[in-house]
Amino acid sequence: MTTLYNPLLNGFHPDPSVVRVGDEWYLATSTFEYLPGIPIHRSRDFENWELIGHVATRDDQLAVADVPTAGGAWAPTIRHRDGVFHLVITDAMGRGMLHFTAVDAAGPWSDGELIRTHDGSRSLDGIDPDIAWGDDGTVYITYSGLLLSGEGVGQHLGIQQVRVDLDRHVALEEPRSVWSGTGGQFPEAPHLYAVDGRWYLMIAEGGTERGHGISIARGDSPEGPFETAPQNPLVSARSTIRPVQNTGHGDLVIGPDGDWLCVLLGVRPRSMTRAFSALGRETFVTTVHWRDDGWPAIDPVPLNPRPGTRVDVDFSAQRTLDGEWIAVRTTPASIADLDARPDALVLHGAGRTLDDPHPVFLGRRQEHLTNAVTVTVDVHAGVGGLAVRYDERFHVEIEAGAGVVIARAVVADLVQEWSIPLTSEVLDLHIESRRPAAGGALPKTSDVFHLAVTTEGERRELATVDGRFLSSETTESFTGRVIGVYARSGDVAVLRWTAEGDDE
């Protein structure tokens, strides 16, 4: 019997799409302005998932170098047909709607072809594309009609669909409106499925916040017309006390036991009113049952976290960085120097702080609600440190160099700093996320950051920072917490990295 862990993928892994190929499952998620883009996880039992590669490993595959915050890789759909993996996605405010292919899901993937309008003049304007093949081989791209450019930018046209010539990547018609849900805001994340001679169109609606949910309709053709399911929404946590909220944006697949499953996004909020989701949108899974009337029913999403983890990294020119390392609007290889020192990763500062859209920052997703990261750095030739980043306007860091150690919290336009003299240029920097201290009142935050430094064997606590300031609700970010090392100026050598955490 398969154990379904929830989260299925911990940390910043939103907008999941899944495909089964034989007895293996492949899962793709969004990455926005981070590279490498669009991670691909593989499982052979739906319990254990391995990161096997990324779709976008080269700078020219996604044009994220200058996208605004929250732009970039939005909501992939991954499918498999005739020995080829297909992935469609919108590079929002970047290249546009793209189609990638690969024989091996681990890569390499193609450069990405732009899916153009009927006249071939520009990209289809929309997000969350789905790709499906009709019984006669016709290719359908169904997507959410949010306009990202032109005079109507910001307007939403509902769920749209076009038939596409996949050899030329050109629409064969003007976009048509298809079923757009039951009236909830922001219909998005469409997926088409052929099941027992009928076509099912599943979408998300209600917005990706607390109103999020999944609805479905069916028809005799992938083009509709579609009949609305009587029990919509199939799943939603709104107005409930469930520990997993914002459940929506799902994809259906047959699991290892022959049962249907739905992978979907959700958040794990904490605080007195469960108002703050520290890790952002994560990937979850739940079971699906088919009713006697031919409609699917999706079970509520249970919380079933995995055991805690620990990651230790010693850097060396003989060992490449693993795929969990990500960078902002550039590839990790462009900023991570493993050759400058045999025992360290060196970051070369360029005078940019974490407020800049292009920081010299290399990080990993925060995977656990209770979490501790320690890095050993040598700052004799530079200034830099350890940070938790949501985006340019929301980050917390501890920085060393130029004779001082500074703990800093940046919350939009508010900045607070705490400092002590630097007594050793090789030191340990610590950022820990802990539950709020138990007390008589209910906690009014998700967690508390503890920022500390250890020099010459002595640990000194510099600051505590309310974790709600780096939650998805405060930042209004589509991403999540990424913890990483950075260089502000000069050369910062990172000797060791340790991260451990749990979700108890």
Q: Give the residue numbers marked as catalytic.
A: 15, 188
Angle at 36 between CA 363 and CA 413, to 5 degrees: 50
Cite the DSSP H helix spans in 251-369: none
Identify which of 351, 328, 329, 347 has the alpha carbon closest to the alpha carbon of residue 337: 347
Is the CB of residue 399 less than 8 Å from the CB of residue 422? no
- Would you say the C-alpha torsion 85, 88, 92, 95 has a positive or negative sign? positive
Task: Please count the other Cβ atoms lying within 10 Å of the Cβ belonging to residue 412.
Answer: 10
Closest CA to 465 of 413, 418, 498: 418
265, 247 Cβ separation under 8 angstroms = yes
Q: What share of the chain is helix, strand, coil (3-state, %, to 5)?
A: 0, 50, 45
CA distance linking residue 375 with residue 186, whole number of Å: 42
Residue 308: CB atoms within 10 Å: 14
- Dump the DSSP string for 424-492: -SEEEEEEEEEPPPP-SSPP-SS-EEEEEEEETTEEEEEEEEEGGGGSHHHHT-SS--EEEEEEEEEEE
- Greatest pairwise CA separation for the chain in angstroms: 73
Exposed (0-12), middle (13-18) or buried (19+): which is 187, by Cβ within 10 Å? Answer: buried
